[in-house]
Structure 1
Amino acid sequence: MNQFKKKLQIRWADLDPNGHVRHSVYYDWGAYCRIAFLTANDLSPSQMMELQVGPVIFREECVFKKEVRQEEELLIDLELVQARRNFSRWTVRHSICKEGGVLAAVITLDGAWIDTVKRKLTTPPVQVFDAYGVMPKSAAFEWLD
């Protein structure tokens, strides 16, 4: 898969007193994009519950490049930056762009998979492997050994 992009909707509740998007909304947009990607690739939240696995985040960082206001149109994408070959650990990056491709923010996160019954990190099942295997990869993608 070359790209995965989603259009974002800015709601009144997403704004701060200065009239631009609150910082925490960016993280919600990242989660929305990741779950939309997984769902589009046959790994929905309900299927993860059945498989008794879920993603966990160790680190999440957003770098804000340009102010975003309510009337603007935005797209968010995702790309795999690095991963173990079994996708048990990974780094994903989102770019949020304004109209015309202007970069507004970059979210980078490191994560893994947890067994939701044992509450321990785990090697994910084949369904996770299949979904992450088709995730767009960054130009500088690297396997973690």
Structure 2
Amino acid sequence: MSTDTHSFRTRIAVRSDDLDINGHVRGPAYLTYADHARWECLWAAGVEPARLAEQDIGPVNLETTIRYHRELLAGGEVEVLSTFRWGSGKTSQVVQELRSPDGTLVAEVESVSGLLDLTRRRLVPDPGRYWRALASRPELLGLS
């Protein structure tokens, strides 16, 4: 992923319970880091979960892919760069780079997401329109 002006940066401490028996970060922790970073970006953009609930919609992940590049070891932090990509359909994509403290790319996480109408149990069309309306800083989500 090439980082651009729409990438949001989040630093997360690597905790001892994120490690596996080999001393490196275990797979599920990468997903936790990615989820945490997405929510940090949404909060920074001014999106409040209560406002989603008021509209009877909620975010859903439909697919997530992790590509591991290097070991991430104990100590320090991991930096997550999150970039939202929008299309014309019912889904969007979040591409995230996870980097070690020295800047080395350790993993990439790509997610396909949508907004679920919680009454109809169907994805809403044009989810970017909803996020843009909910966000006070939609540019952090790659929306102008």
**Residue pair 2:92, 2:113 contacting (<8 A) in 1 also:** yes
The secondary structure found in structure 2 opposite 1:48 is: helix
Q: What's the RMSD between the two structures over aligned residues? A: 2.2
TM-score, structure 1 as length reference: 0.81
Q: 1:115 is matched by which residue type in structure 2?
A: D
- Residue of structure 1 in register with 2:45 after alignment: 41
The secondary structure found in structure 2 opposite 1:99 is: coil
- Residue of structure 2 in register with 1:129 after alignment: 132
- Residue of structure 1 in register with 2:20 after alignment: 16
2:83 corresponds to 1:90: no
Q: Percent identity among equivalent residues?
A: 22
The secondary structure found in structure 2 opposite 1:26 is: helix
- For structure 2, the residue ranges without an aligned partner over 5 or more in a row are none
Hey, which bits of structure 1, 4+ residues long, moved more than 2 A?
Answer: 123-127, 129-133
The secondary structure found in structure 1 opposite 2:102 is: helix
Q: How does 1:89-108 map to 2 (within 5 A)?
A: 89-108=91-110
**Residue pair 1:77, 1:95 contacting (<8 A) in 2 also:** yes
- For structure 1, the residue ranges without an aligned partner over 5 or more in a row are 138-145
User: How many residues in Structure 1 have an aligned counterpart in Structure 2?
Assistant: 135
Shift of 1:3: 3.2
**Residue pair 2:45, 2:138 contacting (<8 A) in 1 also:** no
